Amino acid sequence: MDNILHIEKNLWDAAKELRSGSEITADQYVNPVLCIIFLKYAQIRFVNAQKEIETEIADLHSDWTDRQKRSYRQSADTFAAHNAIMLPDTAMLNVISKETDDNIHEALKTAVTEIESLKPELQGILPKEEFMKIPANILKQLIDKFNSVELENINEDFIGRIYEYFVNEFAKEGAQESGMFFTPKSLVEVISLIIEPDHGTILDPACGSGGMFLQAAKYCKKHGIKFQEKCSVFGQELKTTTANLCKMNLAVHSINGNIKSGINASTYYNDAHNLLGKCDFVMANPPFNDDISNINDLQSERLPFGVPVSGGKIGNYLWLQFFYSFLGEQGRAGFVLASSATTAGETKSKGKEPKESWELSVRRQLIQSQNVDVIISVPGNFFYTVALPCTLWFYDKDKKDEIKDKILFIESGGYYTQVSRNLNEWSQWQRRNIAAIVYLYRGEVDKYQQLISEYVEDVKSKFPELIFKYTLPGEYTHHSLLTAVDIKSKLEKAVSATDVLETLPMFAQYAETIKTESKQYLEYIASADKTERKGIAEQFSTLNGIDKKFNEIKKTVNTALEECSEKIQSQINTISSLEWLYSKFKDGVYSDVPGICRIADLKEVEEKNFSLSPGGYVGIEEKNDEDEIPFKERLLQISEELNVLNNQGAELMKRINENMKKILG
């Protein structure tokens, strides 16, 4: 994973640097760059499919004649069955890379034309003339970057990740209007985890670049479900250029989808796929607070809770009804809306009873339908282009009887990971913790317990990566090795969340101890005179079984220390996420947690004038005295206490000698 993150960043930095020296705009650059990544993916998928086909012939068709085998190998249908395009040589990126500057533009146009003939759904989608706007030398360098040895044997899923990464980065730069086509991955994954899109018809009526569909496919893959066999994908997108980006995105991930664009695909005025009441799942991040003027063109059958009486910024409450109307009898929906939608239409006045606004009327009827399932507040800075907070809404037309008249509210304002000064997200485990609260609300204790088990196994399986990479002389390493052995022993016996949580201060101690020991060792070798240096190099090489010159040792130790510290911190973050979840719900019994989550019945919601703002229900998080001390500081305090204990006792060195054999064996 660290390697792919490194590759993604390096490729993006290279692509960005190439453009910075030219007059190419982001809009001119985005599609050609993504097309080159697409060609790389198509080539990798083609090569892998060839291997799969040869295996298939050997295993199932060994009795065929040579002519039959040759015909099968050369069939486009055969490659399609293996989710690949049967590429001619001229569409292979490694062949295109050999073209001269004079021919590179035509070579790319030829490759695109041939792929279109083999995959008609991409007709007119991939760029052709757009390549002409980019200087040949920049195109050549881009192709070389994506045709490098580093990417030659990369997993095809990673190429898909790289493609997503570039879509993400172009969104930050505003390559598409306001970056609207990109929904933060952490929000999309939470939507997927909660609605569980594992079958039937999946619709995104504001599909942008198709991120919702990709996440649905990933959800199915993780659960052993064949997405293409079980699910049908439909999308609507007003902007044709963005819809084309979606089609490329689906193609690069081998997903077949029916995507419509243009004025006739504007969801405000058209049900482009005739899916009213037919969808099993609706997933979307529609534009916020759109100003709608042509209310006479709205279709009343898709507005079951009322047609607006006037235009204006009414887009949010049109979407609320569209999503509801698209769902079948057992359908689920998950979508993003501006936070203001949870209380829109509220009026405050003294004396006379105020007239109910259209927005409040819609929300009241929606709530009274008993199909609003979960509302989650999302803090600001989750989007690359806007800092405003938002809300995740979830409908479920097949709620269990025991929660039919209830709504789960989750307030995540204080629960997120800060990526940078202007960007927040939910980490992988934070996403799953939020979903786990929903599972418990639904009474799905098995899913919660499965997550707890995955936490335990993740910490146990990753611990071997944490042993300090290079062994220092005994006097500089005995405390860290002792702690590592203690953690190893504890994890080998761990079967529960409690067992794993007990290792949290031990991990903190391990991190601090290796830093201290490494610092002491580096200070020692820094003060060595000329005659001592040879002995130090020989001792280090003997301990580690690798030859190292004296001048290389400092860099080697620092690099290993940095890698180990990062991995320990990752483990600490994982265990901390487990602690956050397990401390609240133990073995799987849902209870309201002040400041975090609360289940409210419809009577209470009515008493609050049908407000759906989570903050009005969950209250304020309870804190004890310990919470006033920063979490990291508490860990370090515990670490210091354990260090004192480890320094005591005459048995210390004996244990070290015994445990050295265990950890290195």
d(CA 256, CA 259) in angstroms, rounded, equals 9
What's the pLDDT tens digit per position in 336-358? 999 999 999 876 555 556 688 99
CB–CB of 271/302 below 8 Å?
A: yes
For 448-502, the DSSP string reads: HHHHHHHHHHHHHHHGGGGS-SSPPPHHHHHHHHHHHHHHHHHHHH--SHHHHHT
Helix (H, G, I), strand (E, B) or coil at 516: helix
Q: Mean of the pLDDT values across residues 193-222?
A: 94
| Interatomic CA distance for residues 168 and 37, integer angstroms | 14
Distance CA 210, CA 540 (A): 53
Query: Which domains, and CATH codes, for the chain?
Result: 2-167 (1.20.1260.30), 180-443 (3.40.50.150), 455-588+624-664 (no CATH)
- Per DSSP, the three-state class of 627 is helix
Residue 312, SS3 per DSSP:
strand
78-123 pLDDT tens trace: 887 777 888 899 999 989 999 998 999 999 999 999 988 888 888 8
> Alpha-carbon distance 17 to 493, whole Å?
51
* CA separation for the pair 477, 472 (Å, rounded): 6
pLDDT, position 385:
64
Cβ neighbours of residue 499 closer than 8 Å, sequence gap 6 or more: 456, 490, 491, 493
Taking 60 as the threshold, does the pLDDT of residue 167 lie above it?
Answer: yes
pLDDT value at 42 more than 90: no
Determine which helix (DSSP H) or strand (DSSP E) holds 654, and give its type and residue range.
Answer: helix 652-664
Highest mean predicted confidence (pLDDT) among 14-28, 36-50, 214-228? 214-228
Model pLDDT for residues 410-431, shown as the tens digit of each residue: 999 889 998 878 888 999 999 9
What average pLDDT does range 65-73 have in this prediction?
A: 91
**pLDDT, tens only, 364-394:** 999 999 999 999 999 998 886 677 899 999 9
Q: Where are the alpha helices (DSSP H) in 472-627?
A: 474-493, 497-501, 504-526, 530-544, 550-585, 602-607, 615-618
Q: Mean pLDDT throughout 177-191? A: 73
Which of 486, 459, 118, 571 has the alpha carbon at shortest distance from 478?
486
pLDDT band at 159 (very low <50, low <70, confident <90, very high): low
pLDDT of residue 427: 93
How far from chain centre, in Å, is Cα 439? Answer: 20
In degrees, to the nearest 5, what angle opens at C-alpha 532 toward C-alphas 528 and 533? 80
Backbone phi, then psi, for 398, in 5-degree steps?
-130, 40
State the maximum Cα–Cα separation within the chain, in Å, rounded to a whole number: 95
Query: How many angstroms separate the Cα of 82 from the Cα of each of 48, 68, 76, 328?
Result: 9, 18, 10, 32
Cα separation, 103 vs 142, whole angstroms: 15
Q: What is the pLDDT of residue 6?
A: 67
* Residue 442 reports pLDDT greater than 90: yes
Q: How far apart (Å, rounded) are the C-alpha atoms in residues 380 and 324?
A: 26
CB-CB neighbours of 43 under 10 Å = 23
Q: Lowest-pLDDT range, 198-207, 341-350, 543-552?
A: 341-350
Q: CA-to-CA distance for 218 and 490, rounded, in angstroms?
A: 34
Count the Cβ atoms, other than its own, within 10 Å of residue 431: 22
Helices and strands, counts by H and E, the chain: 25, 11
Tokens of 124: 């007119």
To which residue do tokens 């949290």 refer? 504
CA dist 249 → 43, 607, 608 (Å): 16, 46, 43
- The radius of gyration of the chain from alpha carbons, rounded to an integer in Å, stands at 29
Q: Quote the tokens at residue 30.
A: 């985005």
Using CB atoms within 10 Å of the CB of residue 96, give its burial: 0 to 12 exposed, 13 to 18 middle, 19+ buried: buried
- Within 8 A by CB and 6+ apart from 557, the residues are 470, 472, 518, 521, 522
Lowest model confidence (mean pLDDT) among 82-86, 272-276, 553-557, 583-587: 82-86
Of residues 60 and 621, more confidence is placed in 60
Contact present, 394 and 374 (Cβ < 8 Å): yes
Residue pair 159/252 in contact (Cβ under 8 Å)? The answer is yes
What pLDDT shows up at residue 449? 97
What pLDDT shows up at residue 624? Answer: 57
Task: Please report the pLDDT score of residue 175 as a whole number.
Answer: 44
What is the arithmetic mean of pLDDT over 314-326? 97
Whether residue 556 has pLDDT greater than 80: yes
In the DSSP assignment, the letter for residue 402 is G
Average of per-residue pLDDT values in the chain: 86
In the predicted structure, residue 634 carries a pLDDT above the cut 60: no
Q: Is the pLDDT assigned to residue 459 strictly greater than 90?
A: yes
Q: Among residues 160, 162, 151, 80, which one has the least CA distance to residue 115? A: 80
The β-bridge partners of 203 are 234, 282
231: nearest Cα among 197, 276, 266 = 197
Res 644 pLDDT > 80: no
Are the C-beta atoms of residues 607 and 579 closer than 8 Å to each other?
Answer: no
How confident is the model over 607-626, as a mean pLDDT?
Answer: 85
CA distance to 235, 244, 302, 322, 470, per residue, from 271 (Å)? 10, 19, 9, 9, 63
What is the spatial distance between Cα 341 and Cα 359, in angstroms, rounded to a whole number? 9
Q: DSSP for 282-307?
A: EEE-PPTT--B--GGGS-GGG-TT--
Torsion 60-62-65-71 (CA) sign: positive
Residue 62 has pLDDT above 60, yes or no: yes
Q: What is the pLDDT of residue 145?
A: 83
Residue 23, Cβ density class (10 Å: 0-12 exposed, 13-18 middle, ≥19 buried): exposed
pLDDT on residue 89? 92
Provide the b/e sequence for 546-562 (b: ≥16 CB within 10 Å): eebebeebeebbeebbe
Which residues on neighbouring strands pair with residue 378, listed in sequence order? 390
- Work out whether strand 327-338 and strand 597-601 pair parallel, antiparallel, or are unpaired: unpaired
Nearest to 387 by CA among 421, 336, 342: 421
Contact 588, 549 (CB under 8 A): no
Token pair recorded at residue 140: 């050549």
pLDDT number for residue 351: 55
Neighbour order of strands in the sheet with 257-261: 257-261, 231-237, 200-204, 279-284, 327-338, 390-396, 372-378, 406-411, 597-601
Comparing 233 with 652, the larger pLDDT belongs to 233
pLDDT of residue 641: 47
